[in-house]
């Protein structure tokens, strides 16, 4: 089996909160979000034998207790992702996934086989604006992925699921409807950073989160990740 390889980080403390993990980047993504930070691996081809990637993961086992699959969009390569996740399981590693949710059947396969412990699912905007932002028909697929994550969390086949919202100035009004869709799951507000935009500050992100009446985590370049509790 071959994998369209995007990169490898032997040890990371930022891709899974509270965990030391190695990170595997899988190349390719059908979406074209204007603020993507991994544009270099949206396209192109670097085919590697899956055993080569598994060896990279095994080489990190002495310092990492987990592996995170990211991209690009890792679920684009569903069979390869499932194969790599199963191999990581056999090594005794926890498995995490960063995904945009465009391929819900892959998420259902991973959770159904109990091959993933943590999913960070990006929800990028309101459902009405989704397809325009990603430049493809994606909203219905992401809804299915969100539903699959909720089911897996409820039945115990998924330990952790966080909904990650990258918020840009001028789109603060999107947040309540996204938070409602993500009810019951952890919510992370991420500072949107892109050319031509003045990023929201931590204080502005807290102000946007306040009407939600729930705990969230806020990520900014200036302060890293901090917790926000409207009752404090």
76-127 pLDDT per residue, tens: 999 999 999 999 999 999 999 999 999 999 999 999 999 999 999 999 999 9
The predicted model gives 58-68 an average pLDDT of 95
Identify the pLDDT of residue 190: 94
For residue 199, the 8-state DSSP code is P
pLDDT tier at 164, thresholds 50, 70, 90: very high
The predicted model gives 177-195 an average pLDDT of 93
Please name every residue paired with 71 in a beta bridge, in sequence order, or none if there are none: 26
pLDDT at 232 over 80: no
Mean pLDDT of the chain: 94
The predicted model gives 186-192 an average pLDDT of 95
H or E element: which one contains 165?
strand 160-167
User: Hey, is 49 helix, strand or coil?
Assistant: strand
Residue 26 CB partners (closer than 8 Å, separation 6+): 3, 4, 5, 6, 69, 70, 71, 72, 73, 74, 76, 77, 80, 81
Identify the pLDDT of residue 216: 96
* pTM for this model (two decimals): 0.95
The tokens 């949107």 sit on which residue?
192
Q: How far is CA 141 from CA 19, 49, 93, 104, 138, in A?
A: 29, 29, 29, 6, 5
pLDDT tier at 196, thresholds 50, 70, 90: confident
- Which is nearest to 89 in space by CA: 115, 111, 70, 107? 115
């Amino acid at each position: 089996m071959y994998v369209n390889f995007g990169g490898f980080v032997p040890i990371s403390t930022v891709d899974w909160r509270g965990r030391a993990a190695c990170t595997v980047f899988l190349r390719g993504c059908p979406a074209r979000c204007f603020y993507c930070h991994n544009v270099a691996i949206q396209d192109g081809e670097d085919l590697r034998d899956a055993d080569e990637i598994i060896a990279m993961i095994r080489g990190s086992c002495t310092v990492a207790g987990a592996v995170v699959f990211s991209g690009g969009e890792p679920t684009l390569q569903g069979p390869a992702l499932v194969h790599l996740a199963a191999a990581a399981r056999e090594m005794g590693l926890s498995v995490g996934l960063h995904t945009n949710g465009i391929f819900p059947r892959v998420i259902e396969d991973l959770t159904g086989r109990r091959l993933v412990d943590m999913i960070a699912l990006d929800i990028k905007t309101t459902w009405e604006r989704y397809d325009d932002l990603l430049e493809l028909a994606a909203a219905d697929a992401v809804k299915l992925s969100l539903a699959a994550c909720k089911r897996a969390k409820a039945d115990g086949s998924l330990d952790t699921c966080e909904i990650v919202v990258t918020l840009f100035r001028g789109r603060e009004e999107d947040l309540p409807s996204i938070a409602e869709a993500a009810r019951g799951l952890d919510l992370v507000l991420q500072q949107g950073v892109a050319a031509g935009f003045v990023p929201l500050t931590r204080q502005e992100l807290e102000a946007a989160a306040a009407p939600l009446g729930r705990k969230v985590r806020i990520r900014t370049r200036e302060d890293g990740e901090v917790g926000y509790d409207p009752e404090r």
